[in-house]
């Protein structure tokens, strides 16, 4: 207990250091990088001194997690209100309901297209590194995970593609506002779009009522945005706690055993990021300036491993730093957290399928296998939200569709958290890329905002 108290005292000092940086009006990027570095150092120190799974480390992390989990919970708290009022407000201000189809179609199209390319990248890096499931030893944890996946597949088999699409519709919008279903985010987006279109229709028929409703939405947006800024100001502290837990809880021996797959995964993720930046450059958006502005979002996604939890920071960055339209920002952040995820639904299932293919007598370089794999990955990425989302579910769908043993998906449980960090960052970047490109296409981008240098945290709060 004494050691845990000492550890927590050190953690409190690190929080005080971050608070001092915030008071000194350092940029958000500086604060986030500092929190990340301190978290890595503190987590590594805990592992080095006490070892993985020690009572002292676990007790310390239990309390450190109050900050990390508390921050993610606050982010989840503001997701639904933010999406609801922002999309309604964006539609009312644009007053062009016809652009909704172009906006949503462009974003979904980009998400699915980049997921297909991500699957192809997964095939490439797997063959480049010679990955195969043959050389992986099934330990007790892996076997237990595999058995659990087999059981889950029985429930997934009864869910058709039509069922997935049907689940997007908000049968009970109030229940979806509580996040009661895996597809609640998309359901709230659809509900907000209907309310926004209804508001525009009322404004055309009865301008006075329309003006009152628009004023109400403006007030709601101001309150929610203030709430968002309050929560986002806690980002450096959240990253400090989350990174401490990740590093202190990582098993180095497991990572070294499967190092080849880890390296191959991050090479693939890097190639996907390069693809995103090339798409941005092709559409006249400076990739270097873009990357500099979104880096704090990617760092948070990396440490939190939560695409949904990153939605508020994603939207805030798209609007205030990239200059994207509010509609595109909200739609892309929301859709990108539940479908077309380049890392979880594109790269990972493809790599797993290529690894497993030789064990069932399939040539992973066979063109027909590659084409089938890419098609299945792309389609399943669109319906992942209907059955819960995440890389595991994506892998289950793809492997079962290819008639491969899904239990082998449990082989990588030891390094899952480490890989998932990079996958989540790529997922979020894919969503922001889709929003940026679509906003550019529809001429909704404020170039002056994009060209501005990063403002100090205090200025961001007042913007």
The helix or strand, by DSSP H or E, that contains position 330, with its residue range, turns out to be: helix 326-336
The total domain count for the chain is 1
- Integer CA distances (angstroms), 164 to 99, 107, 350, 382, 387, in order: 25, 19, 21, 9, 7
Dihedral sign of CA atoms 116, 121, 122, 123 in order? positive
Higher pLDDT, 141 or 350: 350
- Quote the tokens at residue 191: 């509900």
Evaluate whether 60 touches 196 at the Cβ level (below 8 Å): no
Which residues, in sequence order, are bridge partners of residue 456? 27
Q: Which of 51-60, 180-189, 285-294, 403-412 has the highest mean pLDDT?
A: 285-294
Average pLDDT over residues 48-58: 86
Question: What is the three-class DSSP state of 297?
Answer: helix
> Which tens digit of pLDDT belongs to each residue from 135-172?
554 544 444 555 555 555 555 555 566 776 787 788 89
What's the pLDDT at 463? 40
The rounded Cα 114 to chain-centroid distance in angstroms is 15
- Across the chain, what does the average pLDDT equal? 84
Report DSSP state, residue 363.
Answer: -
> Which tens digit of pLDDT belongs to each residue from 67-119?
988 988 888 888 889 888 888 887 887 666 667 788 888 999 999 999 999 99
- Integer CA distances (angstroms), 220 to 86, 125, 323, in order: 9, 47, 21
C-alpha 276/C-alpha 412 separation (Å) is 27
pLDDT band at 456 (very low <50, low <70, confident <90, very high): very low
C-alpha 325/C-alpha 443 separation (Å) is 9
Q: How many helices (H) does the chain have, and how many strands (E)?
A: 21, 0
Which residues, in sequence order, are bridge partners of residue 27? 456
- Count other Cβ atoms within 10 Å, centred on residue 337: 25
- Quote the tokens at residue 208: 């006075």
The model's pTM: 0.77
Q: For residue 379, give the CATH number of its domain.
A: 1.10.3860.10
Question: What is the three-class DSSP state of 350?
Answer: helix
What's the pLDDT at 388? 40
User: Which residues does 143 contact at the CB level (< 8 Å), separation at least 6?
Assistant: 410
Residue with tokens 């905002």: 449
Higher pLDDT, 293 or 189: 293
C-alpha 401/C-alpha 364 separation (Å) is 16
Residue with tokens 């676990």: 58
What's the pLDDT at 428? 94
Does residue 184 surpass a pLDDT of 90? Answer: no
C-alpha 36/C-alpha 61 separation (Å) is 16
Average pLDDT over residues 24-41: 87
Residue 246's nearest CA partner among 303, 203, 201, 194 is: 303
Average pLDDT over residues 247-260: 74
> Which tens digit of pLDDT belongs to each residue from 392-419?
777 877 887 788 876 666 666 667 778 8
Does residue 385 surpass a pLDDT of 80? Answer: no
First to last CA, the chain: 45
Dihedral sign of CA atoms 293, 295, 296, 298 in order? positive
Does residue 294 surpass a pLDDT of 90? Answer: yes
Does residue 304 surpass a pLDDT of 50? Answer: yes
Average pLDDT over residues 417-442: 92
User: Which residues does 130 contact at the CB level (< 8 Å), separation at least 6?
Assistant: none
pLDDT band at 386 (very low <50, low <70, confident <90, very high): very low
pLDDT band at 457 (very low <50, low <70, confident <90, very high): very low
Q: Own/partner pairs for 137-140, CB < 8 Å, 24+ apart? A: 137/257, 138/411, 139/414
The dihedrals phi and psi of 97, each to the nearest 5 degrees, come to -65, -20
Q: Residue 180: which domain range?
A: 2-462
Cα Rg, the chain, nearest whole Å: 22
Average pLDDT over residues 24-51: 88
What's the pLDDT at 118? 96
- Quote the tokens at residue 138: 């099934």
């Amino acid at each position: 207990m004494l050691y845990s108290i000492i550890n927590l005292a050190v953690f409190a000092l690190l929080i005080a250091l971050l608070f001092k940086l915030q008071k000194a009006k350092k940029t958000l990027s500086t604060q986030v990088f500092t929190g990340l570095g301190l978290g890595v150092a503190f987590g590594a120190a805990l592992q080095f001194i006490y070892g993985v799974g020690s009572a002292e480390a676990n007790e310390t992390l239990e309390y450190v997690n109050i900050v990390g989990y508390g921050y993610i919970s606050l982010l989840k708290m503001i997701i639904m209100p933010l999406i609801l009022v922002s999309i309604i407000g964006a539609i009312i201000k644009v007053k062009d309901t016809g652009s909704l189809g172009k906006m949503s179609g462009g974003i979904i199209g980009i998400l699915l297209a980049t997921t297909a390319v991500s699957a192809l990248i997964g095939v490439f890096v797997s063959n480049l590194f010679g990955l195969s499931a043959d050389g992986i030893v099934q330990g007790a944890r892996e076997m237990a995970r595999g058995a659990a996946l087999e059981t889950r597949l029985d429930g997934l088999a009864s869910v058709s593609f039509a069922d997935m699409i049907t689940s997007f519709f908000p049968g009970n919008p109030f229940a979806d506002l509580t996040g009661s279903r895996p597809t609640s985010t998309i359901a709230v987006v659809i509900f907000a779009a209907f309310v926004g279109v209804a508001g525009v229709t009322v404004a055309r028929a009865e301008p006075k009522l329309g003006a009152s409703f628009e004023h109400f939405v403006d007030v709601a947006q101001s309150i929610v945005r203030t709430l968002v800024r309050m929560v986002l100001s806690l980002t450096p502290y959240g990253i400090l706690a989350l990174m401490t837990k990740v590093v202190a809880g990582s098993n180095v021996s497991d990572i070294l055993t499967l190092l080849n797959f880890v390296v191959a995964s991050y090479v693939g993720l890097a190639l996907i990021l390069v693809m995103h930046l090339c798409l941005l450059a092709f559409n006249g958006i400076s990739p270097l300036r873009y990357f500099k502005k979104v880096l704090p979002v990617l760092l948070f996604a990396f440490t939190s491993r939560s695409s949904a939890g990153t939605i508020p920071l994603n939207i805030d960055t798209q609007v205030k730093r990239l200059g994207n339209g509010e509609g595109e920002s909200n739609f892309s952040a929301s859709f990108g957290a539940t479908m077309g995820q380049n890392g979880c639904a594109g790269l990972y299932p493809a790599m797993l399928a290529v690894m497993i293919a030789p064990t069932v007598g399939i040539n992973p370089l066979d063109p027909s296998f590659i084409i089938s794999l890419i098609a299945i990955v792309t389609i399943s990425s669109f319906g992942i939200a209907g059955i819960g989302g995440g890389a595991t579910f994506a892998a289950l769908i793809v492997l079962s569709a290819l008639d491969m043993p899904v239990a082998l998906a449990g082989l990588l449980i030891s390094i899952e958290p480490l890989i998932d960090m990079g996958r989540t960052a790529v997922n979020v970047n894919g969503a922001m890329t889709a929003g940026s490109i679509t906003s550019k296409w529809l001429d909704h981008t404020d170039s002056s905002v994009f060209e501005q240098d990063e403002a100090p945290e205090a200025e961001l709060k007042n913007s």
